[in-house]
Amino acid sequence: MDTELSPRAAEIAEHAKILLAAGGYNGFSYADISDRVRIGKASIHHHFPSKAELVLTVVVQHRAQSRAGLAALDKQVADPRARLDAYTGYWTACIRDATSPICICAMLAAELPAVPREVADEVQGYFRDLSAWLESVLKKGAATGQFRLQDTAAVEANAFMATVHGAMLSARAFDNPAIFESITQAAIRRLAPEA
């Protein structure tokens, strides 16, 4: 899928991402975007003929940005604990300043049975990518003695991923961004071998 967008299409996609984080797939319409971007719904349809195409574009971009961010993190930070801290720190900042108060793929995962198949496939791909990255970080940490895993690295990666996304929901439910950081830091501490 080509994700090179015109400036107007990029603006539409950015507002769609904000609306997805706020209310999920069924939580917005082209009328909402029209109000935010100040263009007619017909103009939005010119760039994105269907809502499914718009959301797919947003998720494809989000997945690509995530992959690039994790790859950059791998190059910049060698220490496995520091990688997990940086990953959760990124989301801590996003939640605290409300730039991205929740991962849009987490929101869409909750709606998976009701979203178009192509969107669901991309959301599942995002989770596979993140799980694989976390597994590699945990394996490296276990190999160096920095982490003590209770189960396989794959199971631990999925548990950590679920904790991160659950912490996003808890921060939203309690309207308290600090909850995210406290939950994720506790999850990282639990990986340390007992002294």
Q: How far apart are CA 38 and CA 136, in angstroms?
A: 45
In a domain, 110, yes or no: yes
**Tens digits of per-residue pLDDT, 80-137?**
999 999 999 999 999 999 888 999 999 999 999 999 999 999 999 999 999 999 999 9
Query: What's the CATH number where 97 sits?
Result: 1.10.357.10
pLDDT of residue 1: 54
In a domain, 32, yes or no: no
pLDDT-based confidence at residue 173 (cuts at 50, 70, 90): very high
In a domain, 166, yes or no: yes
Q: How far apart are CA 149 and CA 3, in angstroms?
A: 38
In a domain, 182, yes or no: yes
In a domain, 11, yes or no: no
Say if residue 52 is exposed, middle or buried (CB neighbours under 10 Å; 0-12, 13-18, 19+): middle
> How many structural domains comprise the chain?
1
pLDDT of residue 5: 87
In a domain, 47, yes or no: no
DSSP structure string for 23-34: H-GGG--HHHHH
**Tens digits of per-residue pLDDT, 37-79?**
999 999 999 999 999 999 999 999 999 999 999 999 999 999 9
Domain of residue 93, residue span: 58-191
Instruction: Judge whether residue 194 has pLDDT over 90.
Output: no
Residue 148 structure tokens? 């003590």
pTM flag (> 0.85): yes
Residue 55 structure tokens? 């959301």
In a domain, 53, yes or no: no
Mean pLDDT of 17-34: 94
In a domain, 13, yes or no: no
